[in-house]
Structure 1
Amino acid sequence: MAIVQNRGAPVQVSVRGWGWQHSGRNNQALHGLDLEISPGERVLLLGPSGAGKSTLLHALAGVLGDDEDANEMGELLIDGRPVHESRGRTGLMQQDPDAQVVLSRIGDDVAFGAENLAVPREEIWRRVPAALESVGLNLPLDHSSSALSGGQKQRLGLAGILAMRPGLLLLDEPTANLDPAGVVEVRDAVRRSLDETGATLVVVEHRVSVWLEVVDRIVVLAPAALGEPGGVLFDGPPATVLAQSRDLLAKAGIWVPGHVPEVRARITNPSDAGRPLLLEAEGLAVSRTKGRKRRPVVPAAVVPSVQVRAGHALSVTGLNGSGKSTLALTLAGLLAPVSGHLAALEPLARGAGPEPLKWRGRDLISRIGTVFQEPEHQFVAGTVRDELLFAPRLLGRGEDTVDELLVRLRLEHLADANPFTLSGGEKRRLSVATVLAASPQLLVLDEPTFGQDANTWAELASLLTELLDAGTAVVSVTHDAAFSAVLGGDRLVLGAPADLTGAQAATKVARR
């Protein structure tokens, strides 16, 4: 493929009567969309979960694929040329951080995109460390990309795009997996890059306030997949859109600044008294790597003490790279502890033994349900409905809860869709629903509110409060302070990430 010249100049985007229907879907993801974006404009693209935001970004980047069964209408143009002729002009940061990691060392990974654009070698290696520094990923260039946390991979993906210096920067939930300080750091890195290059920006983010001081225009998409007309619902300067349509935006699920979605309150806020202890850990060191004879494992985190009780919530927070996801997978019986004590107690163990890591798959999913940080890692079926039916059928249970879960988590219109064609927010809700279908006693959730609009966030939070009241324990890895506040319970704060000399992360538990 020929390299497009003057790739660094800001681009003009023209979307004319465009629509897209995924293979196997009854409804179109987008329909009759008309949109013009001038060179250098900075656009915040909003809309309810499933409104087609990610589909549009993928289309502009030319990566929707060549599925013959998909149906495309209208046209997309970059500087007046078809998208497939302009791929060197765009840089896309996807929702799934793992989908963007290509090479084993972070320096090489950041350089990959620029190398494919035939940027001179000297210029590439000038850009690489600068891009890593700008997103706050202060690690050696030969650091393993597979050893990064989800939030660190998100920073790595953005660094690679910034090093490409594209004329059109497409960001899909770029701060969703980041700690609060990281959100500001990454947003400011994007702004500095835009100021330097003048590139056009289209960013998808559910929370409006993060990008208000960066963008000069807000475009709100209507949810065509839910049977509405599709296309642009609102379009204009941020202050105008928010002032004129605040109530409608809030009703549509947009995270309007100052608006807090209504969530079902806990019926009870039980103390430890009367609630059985399900899982306990002491001096627990966790890691995803295996040690070698002369190179012992450096723990990602060391937790002095953890107790998980029935009907009680535990929120695990901390900086990116501090070991939160690794701890969650260890508590869920999916990773072996490096050292320390971890035991399941009755009634969670119920004769299966005290070590969840040794349980059979059938025993594990009926006791501990795990929602991974990357939803795609737990999909096993060809349709949303079959995905939800998998656990009940495996356990020989009734299937009556499946339809209820589809409705509660707003997935009923997608029952026959392939899980891998869902939007990021829909995939997250499905991953939660598949775990709930097994009715486990303990839920371990990694960033459960990722990609959710305000309405689906409220429905998910309400559903989890009901489960807590019914006696289910909930452990959640999250940067979402509002979500943690709704669930209540305890907060486990992991300290700074383990450094390269083997210093271990400190932790503390706060009672709320």
Structure 2
Amino acid sequence: MSEPGPPLVEARGWGWRHSTRKAWAVRGLDLRIEPGERVLLLGASGAGKSTLLAGLAGLLDPDESGGDEEGVLLIDGVQTRRARQEAVRDGHAVTGLLLQDPQAQTVLARCGDDVAFGLENHAVPETEIWPKVHKALDGVGFPYPVEHSTGQLSGGERQRLALAGVLALGPGLLLLDEPTAMLDPEGADQVRQTIATVLEMTGAGCILIEHRVEPWLPLIDRVVVLEPGGGVYADGPPGRVFAEQTDSLAAAGVWVPGNGGRSGAAGRVGVGKQVVAVGRSPLLTAQGLAARRPGQEQPPVRDVDLVVRAGRALAITGANGAGKSTLALALAGLTAPAAGKLTASDALAKGAGPDPHKWRAGQLVSRIGTVFQDPQHQFVAPTVEQELAVGPERVASQKKRLFGKANPATTSQIGGLLERLRLDHLARANPYTLSGGEQRRLSVATVLATAPDVLVLDEPTFGQDARTWAELAALLVELLGEGKAVVAATHDAELVELLAAHGEVVKL
């Protein structure tokens, strides 16, 4: 396959509005990125960063999606959709996009086949495909053989696999949407080094979205900051942009290097300050607990003993593939123990019985609320506002069957949650058109709407800017003070620090 050189990127008054949305995700964008430039794309959560990358990859089409487009977005002077089509026809990749949600890029059952899929679609000669597959997988530190099932991957492992699929194509422009957000620290370092090596060897350009800014600065030539729903807010060399715009960037939610960063945000919500919690009684007790996902023969989590207490936090950490999400699902009552026991206290069960995995849906959501690693897995309604009503309506239906009456959530209660999590302006938007950070906050809001006693959260701070991170962290501390139990599976070191000050840490 003939790999192209780095392309020129141009946006002239470009804008995109998602179908069903009144506000534009991006509008009035004027931008020129020279071939081979390495750009860090910043902006508040919801500023349109992921939308711009999707546009550059040629994935936004008004005729197919029903969205609205204005202005032009060009790759080497060619409209991006046509540039993508012509590249596939000619057997190469102009751009390579790593999506914010790596699961959306997993298409085949075996890991090696998944990486080979893009090469086959680009008509790469068969003799070249598997050497490229192995090189790409080795480059990102993928820990499994090519025949390993994609269905058995953790979120972080899936992210590495998706990145390998992008790198195997050898694109002239890498479009990376938070490539290390789900990786443990060692894995994140390895991926950064792999990307640095690829850029150095190929001269490819790169547009990177990443909230963890500081480790990427040695790779970056330029910083571009987007205004939500508007154009470019700041643009220039990293040192100058961060020095001249420190206050305004911090106010907009950008993690500014040397300005306290996540640790500063954590301090503002009370790391090291004990919460006056309402009670410390046990709610869930695990004894010799083993956990596995459906389809797994051997449980990756074994012999876990822990207690989830009212008003206390439990942070679950560990390397990618250690079983953090698997343990979280078991504690949430969504999978049955593979061995051992998980027992709910009478105070939590409220007559539903001691085994959470046997509870009916209406019983479960009012006792244990779960935020999945992929928030889209729990969206079922056409609007944000309706999504928040789903859980309370299910609880009300359960109460009506049992007691002949129900008290569903009121409009004011739903409105309060939307405002608290900065989603009120998106009440009538389709959840699937939200940014990754907005979807994460919506998934948290849907759990809070049913007022459960235990919250089980899988990577709850993924995709958040500095402002929304601090607000979400402060909300968790508040919930602890109200006597709720918070369980979080996470790689976010500052979140672990915060929760450890109000509970304990389990490392798998």
Contact kept? 1:8, 1:199, Cα under 8 Å: no
Matching residue of 1:54: 50
Contact kept? 2:277, 2:480, Cα under 8 Å: no
Letter in 2 for 1:235: D
Aligned-partner Cα distance in 1 for 2:497–2:480? 14
Matching residue of 1:501: none
TM-aligned CA deviation for residue 456 of structure 1: 0.4
Q: 1:278 to 1:137 in 2, by over 3 A?
A: same
Contact kept? 2:375, 2:443, Cα under 8 Å: yes
Matching residue of 1:18: 14
Residues 278-302 of structure 1: per-residue CA shift (max 9 Å, x gap): 00111111111447xxxxx211111
Residues 451-482 of structure 1: per-residue CA shift (max 9 Å, x gap): 00000001101111110000000000011111
1:83 aligned onto 2:80: yes
More displaced stretch, 331-340 vs 307-316: 331-340
Letter in 1 for 2:29: L
1:491 aligned onto 2:487: no
DSSP-derived class of the 1:364 partner? helix
DSSP-derived class of the 1:211 partner? helix
Contact kept? 1:151, 1:177, Cα under 8 Å: yes
Aligned-partner Cα distance in 2 for 1:349–1:366? 10
Letter in 2 for 1:474: V
Aligned-partner Cα distance in 2 for 1:197–1:268? 49
Aligned-partner Cα distance in 2 for 1:7–1:89? 8
1:410 aligned onto 2:422: yes
DSSP-derived class of the 1:86 partner? helix
Aligned-partner Cα distance in 1 for 2:268–2:377? 29
1:463 aligned onto 2:475: yes
TM-aligned CA deviation for residue 213 of structure 1: 0.9
Residues 147-180 of structure 1: per-residue CA shift (max 9 Å, x gap): 1000000000000000000111101111111111
Q: 1:180 to 1:267 in 2, by over 3 A?
A: closer
Aligned-partner Cα distance in 1 for 2:76–2:107? 29
Aligned-partner Cα distance in 1 for 2:30–2:39? 15
More displaced stretch, 191-200 vs 390-399: 390-399
- Taking structure 2 as the reference length, the TM-score comes to 0.92
TM-aligned CA deviation for residue 105 of structure 1: 0.8
TM-aligned CA deviation for residue 74 of structure 1: 0.4
1:452 aligned onto 2:449: no
Contact kept? 2:41, 2:209, Cα under 8 Å: yes
Q: 1:207 to 1:318 in 2, by over 3 A?
A: same
More displaced stretch, 309-318 vs 235-244: 235-244
Matching residue of 2:87: none
Aligned-partner Cα distance in 1 for 2:479–2:105? 35
1:134 aligned onto 2:165: no
DSSP-derived class of the 2:348 partner? coil
More displaced stretch, 479-488 vs 457-466: 479-488
Contact kept? 1:19, 1:33, Cα under 8 Å: yes
The one of 210, 224, 235 aligned to 2:215: 210
Q: 1:309 to 1:68 in 2, by over 3 A?
A: closer
Q: 1:216 to 1:443 in 2, by over 3 A?
A: same
Contact kept? 1:13, 1:77, Cα under 8 Å: yes
Letter in 2 for 1:480: D
Where does structure 2 lack aligned partners over 5 or more consecutive residues? 85-92, 397-407
Matching residue of 1:330: 330
The one of 217, 221, 225 aligned to 1:220: 225
Matching residue of 1:70: 67
Contact kept? 2:285, 2:308, Cα under 8 Å: yes
Contact kept? 1:207, 1:254, Cα under 8 Å: no
Matching residue of 1:193: 198
Where does structure 1 lack aligned partners over 5 or more consecutive residues? 225-229, 292-296, 495-512
Q: 1:203 to 1:386 in 2, by over 3 A?
A: same
DSSP-derived class of the 2:347 partner? coil
Q: Give the % identical residues.
A: 57
DSSP-derived class of the 1:353 partner? coil
Matching residue of 2:116: 111
DSSP-derived class of the 2:13 partner? strand
Matching residue of 1:369: 369
Contact kept? 2:279, 2:310, Cα under 8 Å: no
Aligned-partner Cα distance in 2 for 1:303–1:13? 53
Matching residue of 1:498: none
Aligned-partner Cα distance in 2 for 1:429–1:271? 25
DSSP-derived class of the 1:370 partner? strand
Aligned-partner Cα distance in 2 for 1:407–1:37? 37
1:398 aligned onto 2:409: yes
More displaced stretch, 60-69 vs 119-128: 60-69
What pairs up with 1:191-340 in 2 under 5 angstroms? 191-224=196-229, 230-258=230-258, 259=260, 260-261=264-265, 263-265=268-270, 269=274, 274-290=279-295, 297-340=297-340
Letter in 2 for 1:240: R
TM-aligned CA deviation for residue 254 of structure 1: 0.5
The one of 160, 169, 173 aligned to 2:165: 160
Q: 1:267 to 1:187 in 2, by over 3 A?
A: closer
Letter in 1 for 2:77: G
Aligned-partner Cα distance in 2 for 1:395–1:354? 19
The one of 139, 143, 148 aligned to 2:153: 148
Letter in 2 for 1:398: A
Q: Root-mean-square deviation (CA), in Å? A: 1.7
Bigger helix share? 2
Q: 1:28 to 1:470 in 2, by over 3 A?
A: same
Contact kept? 1:171, 1:203, Cα under 8 Å: yes
Q: 1:274 to 1:49 in 2, by over 3 A?
A: closer
Aligned-partner Cα distance in 1 for 2:187–2:156? 9
Residues 46-93 of structure 1: per-residue CA shift (max 9 Å, x gap): 000000000000011111244463210000111111111221311110
Letter in 1 for 2:353: G
Q: 1:139 to 1:275 in 2, by over 3 A?
A: same
Aligned-partner Cα distance in 2 for 1:27–1:426? 15
Matching residue of 1:346: 346
Letter in 2 for 1:71: D
